[in-house]
Each structure stands twice: as C-alpha cells, then as structure tokens.
Amino acid sequence: MAEPATEPALARRPVDPGPGPSLDLASSSPGGPGAGRPVEPPRVRAGRAPVTPRPSLLDGLAVSAVRRLARGQVVLHGPGSVEPVAVASDRPGPSVHVELHDARAARALLLRGSEGMAESYIAGWWDTDDLTGLIRLLIDRLRGPMGLLDDVARRAARPLAWARRARRPSPAADRRNVAAHYDLPGQLFEVMLDESMSYSCAVFEPPGVTLAQAQRIKLDRLCDKLALGPDDHLVEIGTGWGGLAIHAATRTGCRVTTTTLSEAQLEVATRRVHEAGLADRVTVLGRDYRELEGTYDKLVSVEMIEAVDWRLYPTFFATCRRLLAPDGVMALQAITIADRSFERATLHEDFARAMVFPGGCLPSLTALLGAVTDATDLVLVDLEDIGRHYPTTLARWWENVDARWDRLATAGFDEEFRRLWHFYLAYCEAAFLERRISDVQMVLAGPRWRPDGPGGPIRRDR
C-alpha cells in the first residue's frame, strides 16, 4: 500500500449559495468505478454561530420543494422551537427527515445543484436519517417537467460540445486525474473493499452472498466470458489493486500483463502478485494503455473507461484492437449513462467530477458502440447489464467504512472526509437505484473469432 498521509489533503472551495443548476446526477461517476481529490467545504468562521433557520425560512423552503417533489415525503427540522415542516407528494415514496443546522443550507440544497448539496452536507450544515433516500427523491423530481428542461439544456449545449472537441486531454492530465482518486492513503481502500480489493460492481447472485463472494462471482463471470485458459495471454487495461489479474492467473493458469497509471495501485498490485507466488505469470506495468505493445489473445478492462475522456473513445478501442489477435476477444465492464443524458454529461461538472473524480465521464452504450464501429472491426457478441447489483455493492462499502472508521481516523482521515465519502457513496447508490446510471459487461470479438459450440466463449455458470 502507499504510505498513508498524516492528514488527507483536501483543497478548500467556498460554498456559494447563489443561484445555480438543479441537482443533476446524470453525469455522476462512482467507480466505478471508474476518478479527484475531495474538496473541503469552508468551516463556519471562528466565533460566528450558525444562522438559526426561522419558521418563515422553513415554510418558504417547503413551498419551493413541494413544487418539484414527485413522490415521498421530506420533513424539515430546525433547531430550538422551530416546528418541523413536512413536504409531501401525493405519490408514495421514501419518508426522509432533514435537520437544518445552518440557514445557508437551504439555498445550497435547492439552488446550487449537487455540488452545493454536497458541500453543505460536508460542512455539517444539515443532516438526514436517510441520505440515499433524500438524494433519490431529488433525482426523481427531475422527471416530468424537469426532464423537459434537461432536453432543452442538452440541445442548447451542442454547439459548445463541438467547440470543446478540439481540446483533448493529455496523458499527463490523465495521470494526474487518476492519482487524485486512487492515490489517496491506502487504508481507505483496505477498509472499504473486500479482500480481493475489487473497486467495481460485484454480482450478488445468489442473493445473500458476502461482498467477497459477490466479487469472486463477478471475476469468474469475466473469466468465463473470455474463456480464459492456460494457453492464453491476457492484457488488462486498468490494474486496480491487482484482484482480477491474480484471480485470472490462479483460476485459469493464463498469463497476465496489466497496467495502471496509479503509483499506489502499481505498488500494491506488484506486492500482492509476489505474495501470491504469481510473479512468473503476472506482469504489472505503470504505463499508459496507449503505450502498450505486443499481441494478446484476450483483453479485459473493468470500470476504467470512465476515466477516458469521451473524445478519446475511438483511440481507446483502436488501441484495444491493435493489442488483440485477429481471433481475440475483449471484455469491458463499464458504468453507463442514458444515451439522452450523455451529451450534457460531457459538459456538466457535477459533485462527483468536481470533488471526487476529476476528468471522469460516464459513457453511454451508443457512444461506446459508435466508437467501436468507427475505429475497429470488432463485433459485439455479448452484453449483460449488472447495474442492479451496484446499490448493494455501494451499501456494503459504506458499511465497511462506517464500521471501521476508528482505523481511518487513526490514519489521519477527518470528519469532513468521512461525510464527503458518505455523500459520494450514497450519491452513486441513489443514481443506480433510480436507474440514472447502470453497469454493463460487454464482450467484443475480432474478425477471425469463432465460437466453440453454441455458447462460444461466453459461458455463465448460474
């Protein structure tokens, strides 16, 4: 693991409660996987007490919220003698309580979009008994009339989107963006993840399996879809913490060459490979995927495409095709966004991109397959949506962080980082639950690939 920082570095960013965009999770990115360094919100100045919400403020906030609340109920509580104000919809849904500690939270919650919501929560201006439920209600209000506004914004953004196509990110910028997320002190990921250190969607089939078991099921599926065997040489773009490379080499006997831009992941994955006795089967590189050379039988990339700029999708797939033998097969696991939201997501910087995952962008299926068609002769031979498993994955990650927080506090993580990470995981969980985003595994095959029998290489043990 990378050496822990004595105090996680958080850049200071002021909370501006002025007008801004509505909450938008259309361009959020977990993981997913596939990432920036968190931004610290301002603290209340020393000697200045938080502003006490007045009854009239709560009433005004309730009126503003009820106009957009599509379902469920939010009960707003102020300090002292201020009576709670219930904001309810005619449709059933989550019932959430919100405790306002500072009047500035009201404007940040409703007027500054996901960044204002996150910053005010991290600053401690408000609390709730169900963070995921609250975010779900605010996502849901974007449907109906708010959805029409999203369409208008998407069409208006097209000229700007074309103008920005000329400004492509550099490999150096990619390396900085990856480091900002994955090079956080190593205890965070050790505490949050299972023993395989898999930082991507697990597969909870059958229901009731542990997180570790669900991650092994996911890895097994990828190995099966690629039909990996001892004669194969697999190249992996995006090492993570080495879990897939170790699992594939151990389970199938294949050789693996894997690469990452994260120095922390390079160090940890290399150490784990040696500890597993697989140094003769697994090679870990710290190179940009575009710099890889050679020809491989199989290729895999798990929730790494989210860190690839949308303008570089053709480059990514062209590189994959160059690395694959003509009869080769590649498996890609990707967090995806709805096609109708993709264009706006390429321009809009939401909470996740601003405070957790700089440079990230979620692809749509159309964008991915369009790039495959434009840049390669690869053919889609299998597609499976596993997004329904991500909310459970994210919930398990937060349970691990929450239960083991003392260990992270000892390593220098403070309460504001704890609240940021809680918001990040809840934000992503809500987006998956509301189907604003999903997660897919797709298999692409070269022109000379032919299936071995009716099932081909896509074998699933269900």
User: What are the structure tokens assigned to 12, written together?
Assistant: 């200071």
Q: What is the pLDDT of residue 435?
A: 93
Fold held by 172-445: Rossmann fold (3.40.50)
Q: What is the pLDDT of residue 21?
A: 31
What residues does CATH 3.30.1050 cover in the chain? 11-152
Residues 6 or more apart from 433 whose CB is under 8 A from it?
Answer: 132, 136, 391
What would be the CATH architecture of the domain defined by 11-152? 2-Layer Sandwich (3.30)
Q: What is the dihedral of CA 54, 57, 59, 61, to 10 degrees?
A: -140
Alpha carbon separation from 462 to 87, 191, 382, 440, 459 (Å, rounded): 44, 30, 16, 17, 9
Q: What is the pLDDT of residue 343?
A: 83
Q: What is the pLDDT along the chain (462 residues), one digit of tens a residue?
A: 333 333 333 333 333 333 333 334 433 334 443 333 333 333 333 333 455 555 666 666 666 665 667 788 888 887 765 678 888 777 888 889 988 888 777 777 666 677 788 888 999 988 999 999 999 988 866 543 333 334 444 454 445 444 544 455 656 555 554 444 444 667 889 999 999 999 999 999 999 999 999 999 999 999 999 999 999 999 999 999 999 999 999 999 999 999 999 998 999 999 999 999 999 999 999 999 999 999 999 999 999 999 998 999 999 999 999 999 999 999 999 999 999 888 877 777 667 776 777 767 899 999 999 999 999 999 999 999 999 999 999 999 999 999 999 999 998 889 999 999 999 999 999 999 999 999 999 999 999 998 876 555 554 443
- Asked if 77 contacts 84 with a C-beta cutoff of 8 angstroms, the reply is yes
Q: What is the dihedral of CA 159, 163, 169, 173, to 10 degrees?
A: -80
Cis-peptide, bond into residue 206, ω within 30° of zero: yes
Tell whether the torsion through CA atoms of 346, 349, 350 and 351 is positive or negative.
positive
Q: What is the pLDDT of residue 48?
A: 39
Residue 246 has, within 13 A of its CA and on its CB side, a CA count of 19
161 closest CA partner among 275, 311, 383: 311
Residues 6 or more apart from 47 whose CB is under 8 A from it?
Answer: none
pTM confidence score? 0.81
Q: What is the dihedral of CA 404, 407, 413, 415, to 10 degrees?
A: 50
What residues does CATH 3.40.50.150 cover in the chain? 172-445
Q: Say whether 428 is catalytic.
A: yes
Q: What is the pLDDT of residue 454?
A: 56
- Asked if 303 contacts 441 with a C-beta cutoff of 8 angstroms, the reply is no
CA distance 306 to 316: 11
